[in-house]
Amino acid sequence: MKIATFNINGIKARAEALIDWLREAAPDVVLLQEIKSTDETFPHEIFEGLGYFIETHGQKSFNGVAILSKLPLEDVERGLPGDDSDEQARWIEATVVGKRALRICGLYLPNGNPAPGPKYDYKLAWMERMRARCRELLATEEPLIFGGDYNVIPQDEDAAKPEAWREDALALPESRAAFRRLLNLGLYDAFRAREPGPGQYTFWDYQAGAWARNNGIRIDHMLLSPQAMDLLTGVGIDKEIRGRDKPSDHVPLWVEIDA
DNA sequence: ATGTCGAATAGGATTCGA
């Protein structure tokens, strides 16, 4: 089963590019971030026509996550537990049953800039809530996948110009420590486990010719539970689509799971 | 000196968020 994550930066602006990529890459499950639409305005028909079931957790203008799946999505949960006052749509979970059941969580972790400040406080608090949810799910000892835009550059080798990110919420020591705390629960950065070494990016800013200069960062991640890692057979970043017309600033990251 | 983009509001340029 091929499971991908892709921050599309607006479903309306990206529908055509997304359709092209879905046809080529043929993922079984896709975690989408920044749909920037409500559940009502998401263009369900287009993707149903391509053979996907769809579950969304949207909001107007900003954020919003969704799951597309060729297999039925069961036990869908929307929103990250732990703060009833949080109105930002950044978390969705569902179970997909292939050869065996996988619990799949799609997430759009807060950017956090400018740091310090309230947005950075929200990011760190959100990461702590995510940790609590990960811990709960890990107790099930089932295969789990936490995929999405983490807005965290885990290590210097995950940026072309690490010095440019020193004061940025994506790379500050507290952000990296919070990401490490997720790993320390017993989760694995599936891409990094299979592809050690620098120069592997999932995001290139629209500004300052970042793509042309390969000034990228690796901020989209798939964290897997031990039981999911046992089933991992491949990983990849579909970098090439960043060079197409009207691209997102992110590209898809995928894992292949024997499930 | 963000060399940019998407969405909302408003009915075109501006603001926000990234």
Residues of A annotated as catalytic are 108, 149
**Nucleotide B1: closest residue by CA–C1':** A208
Q: Check residue A240 and report its DSSP letter.
A: G
Q: How far is the CA of A180 from the C1' of B5 (A)?
A: 31
Q: Look at residue A187 and give its three-state secondary structure.
A: coil
pLDDT tens, N- to C-terminus, chain A (259 residues): 999 999 999 999 999 999 999 999 999 999 999 999 999 999 999 999 999 999 999 999 999 999 999 999 999 999 999 999 999 999 999 999 999 999 999 999 999 999 999 999 999 999 999 999 999 999 999 999 999 999 999 999 999 999 999 999 999 999 999 999 999 999 999 999 999 999 999 999 999 999 999 999 999 999 999 999 999 999 999 999 999 999 999 999 999 999 9
Q: Which nucleotide is nearest to A208 (CA to C1')?
A: B3
pLDDT at residue A252 in the model: 98
Q: What is the pLDDT of residues A149-168, one digit of tens each?
A: 999 999 999 999 999 999 99
Residues close to nucleic acid strand B (C-beta < 7 A):
A 9-14, 36-37, 60-63, 110-111, 113, 119, 151, 205-209, 212, 246
Which nucleotides on chain B have any atom < 7 A from a protein Cβ? Answer: 2-8, 17-18
Give A35-88 as a 3 state SS string. CCCCCCCCCHHHHHCCCCEEEEECCCCCCCEEEEECCCEEEEEECCCCCCCCCC
**Residue A235 · residue A190 · CB < 8 Å:** yes
Nearest nucleotide to A63 (CA to C1') is B17
Q: How far apart are CA A35 and CA A57, in angstroms?
A: 9
A207, A137, A141, A150: which is closest to A178 by C-alpha?
A150
Minimum CA–C1' distance nucleotide for A212: B3
